[in-house]
Amino acid sequence: MMNLRSKLHLAIRPTRKSSSSGKWDQSGSESSGAAGAGAGTGAGGRAAPPPRMMSLASLPAELLRKIAACCDLLDILALRGTCRAIRGGVDDASVYMESLRMHIPPFTSLCVIGRDALLDALKAQLAGHEPAMRVWAAMAVAVERRASLRNKVRAFLVPLLEVCRTRADDGSPPVGPNTVEELESKIAVMSTLLVLGYSNICDLETSNYLMSLNSWRTKQRLWRESKLLENRQLNLQIAFSMVMGAIQPPPWTLGGDEHDRRMKELAYRVKAEYHSHNLSHVNDAFSTTWEGLQTRSLQLAGVMAYLLRAKGQEDLPRADRIPYLDPSVCDDDSRNDDADTAQPAPKLPLLDRTDGTTSSYLTTSGRSWQEWYSSRAQEVVSAIDEEDWYGYYIYSLEMGTSSDPAMEDIRFSVAPADNGNSSSRKKSTVSASSSSSGRGALQVEARGCKDGITRAFNFVGSVAAATGMVSLEKQYVGAHSWAYEGVVTPLGILGEWGRQGATGMMGYFWLWKRSWMDRDVKVDSLPYY
């Protein structure tokens, strides 16, 4: 008697039949195309493609049952046992982990902690984590499909944003919930892979589309405002991905009027939030949270990167040179330290699989991405006195805005922490939901800095250890001074500059570490006088 496997394969084995079309039928069978000696060749004498074997898993369940019913019962039970054994042996977290270790492709970031260190950190973070197997499987799938992600995101965003822009805002969602879930999935995967070392997943063109998605007006058409207020992680992921695309290594090609329009729309919203204009009740509530301030700061970074690139500036931070995982907490020495002195393991963003309305999508595991973001911002605060800083200040968020030569040779030193509460302006009331509130301020200063105005200035001020809020005074030696108010993010320090009181803030600034730039970049630091 023919066994079950043989019957199953016979049922789906492609057979040849004559057809004048020369095409494959739905079962995968192919016409002979010609008789005799020409049967194995197609047009031009090329060999015809071999017949494809259809997957057993793709057969309708009813057909499988009918075939199985014709087989010996012992064959059926044996196949069930084989399948159960294979699933039990393969569907395991260790299998996915080792497969990822063996097949993980090279990172594009120049600042990754290394393949083994990264996977060991993931393993440590997932220890005792109930859905560890799902997380490992989701991470492996995301890495495997990374090459096509950028194009898929762009192809998805183009029609979606057009619908949001052109359809009347009558309060009804412009797209179905399944489309929104798929969008969240793509944003989750992109933002996670960017952190883990695939820095080129988002490019300049994709970043420009994300500028439109960053607009609160666009987001509130896709998600309920209550969800945007609750799921602050999503806002951070969209803004972070946008900035990473905007600071890709050269060559850079800006996209013309349509790209300018998207940037201007986002710039308008960023300016409105910095000036405390009422946009909506929920938007105002979000903007006063720590995550809201961070989101606005990332959006400012994206706009400034676009404006500076439009002016031909090359001395910007590069996505592949910004470290997002501290290697000092991943090496063997730090892990083997005494328990009282060992550094905490890094927080890594994780992916999982969730059941959508009609499909299953990859998604961020819990609040892991937001937890990574908060911990990384804290690491940048703690390392503010390491390395030189560099950056620009501009006067507006409009195309062609004036920008003076870069600020450079900025080396902060930190005085002992102040256990009291640091004084700060109104925006320092922002709450950090993920930070402790009992920590004081770091008193910082940087002397002997340079820019293109007087060539010599000092930064003196404080950084709130818990929230990363920055309050600095830029003192030109023997001349005037300006207030610099901002916040520390994983991409540097961003905020406003100007004067307190009637004059108000006059522009915006962005400081980043000098090592995040191309080492051979030409720096335009000529003074104006």
What's the sign of the alpha-carbon dihedral 373, 250, 388, 523? negative
Within 8 A by CB and 6+ apart from 285, the residues are: 229
Q: Residue 401: is its pLDDT beyond 80?
A: no
Per-position b or e across 447-462, b if 16+ CB within 10 A of its CB: bebbbbbebbbbbebb
For residues 140 and 92, give the distance between their C-alpha atoms in angstroms, rounded to a whole number.
13
Per-position b or e across 331-353, b if 16+ CB within 10 A of its CB: eeebeeeeeeeeeebbbbbbbbb
Ranking 17-21, 299-303, 372-376 by mean pLDDT, the lowest is 17-21
User: Is this structure's pTM higher than 0.85?
Assistant: no
Nearest to 365 by CA among 247, 192, 216: 192
Tokens of 342: 């060992």
Task: Give the tens place of pLDDT for each residue, 81-136.
Answer: 888 888 777 878 888 888 888 889 999 999 888 889 999 999 988 887 777 888 99
Task: Give the tens place of pLDDT for each residue, 348-395.
Answer: 999 998 765 555 689 999 899 999 999 999 999 999 999 999 999 999
Task: Give the tens place of pLDDT for each residue, 483-516.
Answer: 999 999 999 999 999 986 666 788 999 999 999 9
List the domain boundaries for the chain.
Answer: 1-14+57-91, 103-374, 388-516
Contact (Cβ atoms closer than 8 angstroms) between residue 170 and residue 324: no
Count of CB atoms within 10 A of residue 38's CB? 12
333 against 255, higher pLDDT = 255
For residues 133 and 352, give the distance between their C-alpha atoms in angstroms, rounded to a whole number.
9
Identify whether 251 is preceded by a cis peptide bond (ω within 30 of 0). yes
Ranking 201-205, 226-230, 315-319 by mean pLDDT, the lowest is 226-230
Q: Which amino acid is at 306?
A: Y
State CA 223 to chain mean position distance. 19
Angle at 393 between CA 390 and CA 395, to 5 degrees: 170
For residues 377 and 254, give the distance between their C-alpha atoms in angstroms, rounded to a whole number.
30
**How confident is the model over 142-155, as a mean pLDDT?**
91
For residues 56 and 91, give the distance between their C-alpha atoms in angstroms, rounded to a whole number.
19
Whether domain 388-516 has CATH 3.40.50: no
Q: Which amino acid is at 273?
A: E
Count of CB atoms within 10 A of residue 91's CB? 11
For residues 343 and 383, give the distance between their C-alpha atoms in angstroms, rounded to a whole number.
14
For the chain, how big is the Rg over CA atoms in Å? 28
246 against 225, higher pLDDT = 246
Ranking 12-21, 105-114, 311-320, 335-344 by mean pLDDT, the lowest is 12-21
